[in-house]
Amino acid sequence: MYDLLGTLSLIEVSSFVAAPTIGLYCAQFGADVIRVDQIGGGQDFHRLPVNERGDSFSWENLNRAKRSVALDLTRSEGRELLVRLCQDVGTLATNLPPRGFLAHEKLEAGRLDMISVRVMGWPDGAIALDYTVNAGVGYPALTGHGDEPVNHSLPAWDFITGAYGAFALLAAVQRRAATGLGGEVRLPLTDIAMGTVANLGRVAEVVHTGQDRPRLGNAVYGTIGRDFVTADGARVMIVAINERQWQGLVRALDLSSAVAGLEAAFGVSLSGDDGVRFRHRDAIFAVLEKAIAAITHAELVERLDVEGVTHGPYNTLPQAMQDERLFTANPLFTMSNNNPSGLAYPAAGAIATIPQMERTPAVPAPHIGQHTEQVLAERLKLPAGEIARLVDTGIAGIAP
């Protein structure tokens, strides 16, 4: 946690991963993020993984450092309070549909410089999720070793969308500060994904070659990188990402004569152009495989480190959680005790490091409705009696 955004307030009405991430990143940088949920929690409040009580570990980590207001959004009085909160705060992040009761035009009618950032499926409002979008832009067709499509397990498009959404939100806030103008920033997952494919040069590549690139298994496109197994059975990802690292890899594994042999066999130079190396990757991989299978992981690490070649072991998550630099001695993580689930564990703060500022510990997620009374009093100036009436009639909910 770093206090960079202490002047920003944000209403978040969200579920799943992408939209909550927008608020999470802002909250971890010190913004006042007020999450508004249906009383009892929304559709992702019990999303797996959960404890025995059904408290969601994903919900409580995606919603750290936010405040929580609970309203009955099935009733018009609850929805109207949420609209007033949005208009008072002036900035909203949501994944609710563009034509619903939080439509930008409705909010804007009561707050001229309203900013809404809206995570969507398709631009036309049709539904889509990370998993369907990923299948649609072609990554499963390139993943894995066989002929069948393989889904990746990281919801990458959700996180790219969440991070980009946080960026777009601050850009819109900066424009509002300069011009007084608000607006709605729509972020369809399909556009984020197809735009990212294009940004990687892959649309141009298909226009140029007329076809998709080949499926590469665990190899990295465009350079020399793949997984290898050492004499003692460790699997290591090695990438010689530039000329210097390629030369280092050849020295590290004492392969200069083997590489000279490949150069003679194929009539090419393997120095100076990683495109040439990539085209001859199968032969190079065979040479690397043999050399790496002959030495231990410890010896491999020592040799690659001397030469500055990029490498890293394959871990399971429990193994990663034994690693000092990744986790056990990483200042990014601080013990979090007061989580809604009751479980104590190391939690991540802001995923940046700012040497000039004090890093403060991760803050727990709220209980649903924990800040309802506080926020209604503070933002809507509701008198205590009116708040009590809203709670008594079930329009507003408070934490048990």
**Positions in 100-129 near a copy of itself (CB under 8 A):** 104, 121-124, 127-129
Which residue, 281 or 398, is less far from a copy of itself as judged by CB?
Answer: 281
Please, are residues 161 and 192 in contact by the beta-carbon 8 Å criterion? Answer: yes
| Residue 187 is a binding residue for a copy of itself (CB under 8 A) | yes
Ramachandran region, residue 314 (left: φ > 0; alpha: ψ -120 to 50; beta: rest): beta
Are 63 and 366 in contact by the 8 Å Cβ rule? The answer is yes
Least Å distance, CB 48 to a copy of itself, is 3
3-state secondary structure of 155: coil
Alpha-carbon distance of 396 to 387, in angstroms, equals 8
Contacts with a copy of itself, 358-397, as mask; x by CB under 8 A: ----------------------------------------
Shortest Å distance, C-beta 51 to a copy of itself: 6
What residue type is 245 in one-letter code?
Q
Segment holding 298, helix H or strand E: helix 297-307
Who contacts 177 (Cβ-Cβ below 8 Å, separation ≥6)? none
CA distance 325 to 264: 43
Least distance CB 358 / a copy of itself (angstroms)? 11
Q: Using CB under 8 A, which of 65, 70, 82, 185 touches a copy of itself?
A: 185
Nearer Cβ to a copy of itself (11/170): 170
Asked if residue 173 binds a copy of itself (CB under 8 A), the reply is yes
Residues numbered 310 to 339 that lie near a copy of itself (CB under 8 A) are: 310-321, 323, 325-327, 330, 332-333, 339
Closest distance to a copy of itself from the beta carbon of 252 (Å): 14
Q: Which of 88, 97, 101, 140 touches a copy of itself by CB under 8 A?
A: 140
Residue 348 φ/ψ, nearest 5 degrees: -85, 140
Q: Which stretch binds a copy of itself (CB under 8 A): 13-21, 83-91, 280-288, 375-383?
A: 13-21
Q: Which of residues 286-305 bind a copy of itself (CB under 8 A)?
A: none
Find the radius of gyration of the CA atoms of the chain.
26
The stretch near a copy of itself (CB under 8 A) out of 78-86, 133-141, 290-298, 384-392 is: 133-141
- Closest C-alpha among 167, 190, 195, 207 to residue 121: 190
User: Sign of the C-alpha dihedral, residues 207, 209, 212, 213?
Assistant: negative
58 counts as binding a copy of itself under rule CB under 8 A: yes
Tell me the C-alpha distance between 36 and 11, whole Å.
7
H-helix or E-strand containing 263?
helix 256-266
The rounded distance, in Å, linking the Cα atoms of 341 and 365 is 10
Q: Give phi and psi for 56, each to the nearest 5.
A: -85, 125
Which residues are catalytic, by number? Answer: 158
- Collect all residues with Cβ–Cβ distance below 8 Å to 395 and sequence separation of at least 6: 71, 72, 75, 77, 78, 81
Site for a copy of itself in 74-93 (CB under 8 A): none
Candidates 81-89, 260-268, 342-350, 385-393: pick the segment binding a copy of itself (CB under 8 A).
342-350
DSSP line for 276-342: HHHHTHHHHHHHHHHHHHTS-HHHHHHHHHHHT-EEEE---HHHHTT-IIIIIT-TTEEEE---TT-
- Which CB, 9 or 218, lies closer to a copy of itself? 218
Query: Which one of 1, 8, 292, 396 is in contact with a copy of itself (CB under 8 A)?
Result: 8
* Nearest residue (CB) to a copy of itself, 264 versus 329: 329
Span from 65-73, 80-88, 172-180, 381-389 in contact with a copy of itself (CB under 8 A)? 172-180
**Which lies closer to a copy of itself via its Cβ, residue 47 or residue 67?**
47
- Judged by CB under 8 A, the chain residues 195 through 254 that form the site for a copy of itself are 195-213, 216-218, 220-223, 225, 227, 235, 237, 239, 241-243
